[in-house]
Structure 1
């Protein structure tokens, strides 16, 4: 197989996975939880994941922060060594695990509920029957598409889908809070995007 054909097959596989993400009313509930806890109660979004899912969670948290919704990344391992203290009662959790069985993530739910039982948990997973889904208030399903990795093991398709779901949350929250170019520029001052947003807003 040529690189050209391989590229076509990989992109076709991932595009199909993206278009197969199942919608449920849990998406509406997740967005409402973020609006309620961050923008009405003054809390923050706390995103977490292990390994590659953790890198997606970090990206989601920082993108939320730059678009007007305070977000932080909490490493599930470090949470067991004191970092869980970053949580406050009005926060909302976004926990990402493709299998929904990652031990560190399940432990993080227990730690969260022990410290602040009122904090709602949004899970993003490919397994609707998983323990993480059972322990969460809301579950965003990825669709569970097979990884494009030839071994069927490396997080590839799953992380693509997770990133897209993060974009669905971020863009919908941006629309609901009416984020302007001026407000964006206050949070993203540097670089090309900072220059562009200031120019567009006259800030």
Structure 2
């Protein structure tokens, strides 16, 4: 069992280290910074199924680190929730296949509401229809799933999560996000206490 666990960990780690590093990250950060921080828009993240759970996590992490973001379920978007989208927003869409029907339809619906919204895509298929629609494509490397059937999203969602973390950290650096600003958004719990303590220490050093 221990050997099997070690093998699975290595497979996941290898997939992460094989994520392609391209100029698409810089392009994505520039788009988010321009639309959200200069034009007062927000990041609208969406995905279907397990990719949607990753999109929700990315959205909440962005919001807690100074970049307003929401999760929009692609099916709910077709029943009125599309109204959350505004003219200066950015769409962050996640689909391993790049062919998810509900996500492709979301692009069309959003474009009908506000034409030419910037689209960022995290996908395992950089030649897909969704990727062709994107202003920036963040490719996972399309790793094989650790699932014994090769079907259940597992390694693919690991790489999606890592790409989301990279975007968050790069944006934090780009906007100069501070402990003090973090504390304003995260009042409760251990992290709230820690951020306020760090902010006080930095203030006292000045």
Structure-2 separation of matches of 1:92 and 1:128: 19
* 1:54-93 equivalent positions in 2, closer than 5 A: 54-93=52-91
Could you report, residue by residue, the CA deviation over 1:51-107 in whole angstroms, capped at 9, with x for unpaired residues?
000000000000000000000000000000010010000000100000001000000
* 1:114-153 equivalent positions in 2, closer than 5 A: 114-153=112-151
Q: How far off its partner does 1:5 sit?
A: 1.1
Structure-1 separation of matches of 2:60 and 2:113: 24
Q: In the alignment, what sits opposite 1:105?
A: 103
Q: In the alignment, what sits opposite 1:197?
A: 195
Contact 1:89 1:118 in 2 (8 A): no
Stretches of structure 2 that go unaligned for 5 or more consecutive residues are none
Q: How far off its partner does 1:118 sit?
A: 2.7
Q: How far off its partner does 1:26 sit?
A: 1.2
Q: In the alignment, what sits opposite 1:171?
A: 169
Structure-1 separation of matches of 2:176 and 2:159: 26
Q: How far off its partner does 1:27 sit?
A: 1.0
Name the SS of the counterpart of 2:195 in structure 1.
helix
Structure-2 separation of matches of 1:90 and 1:194: 30
TM-score normalised over the length of structure 1 = 0.97
Q: How far off its partner does 1:136 sit?
A: 1.4
Structure-2 separation of matches of 1:168 and 1:188: 20
Matched residue count: 201
Is structure 2 residue 15 aligned with structure 1 residue 22?
no
TM-score normalised over the length of structure 2 = 0.96
Structure-2 separation of matches of 1:104 and 1:139: 18
Moved over 6 A (4+): none
Structure-1 separation of matches of 2:89 and 2:56: 16
Structure-1 separation of matches of 2:136 and 2:197: 39
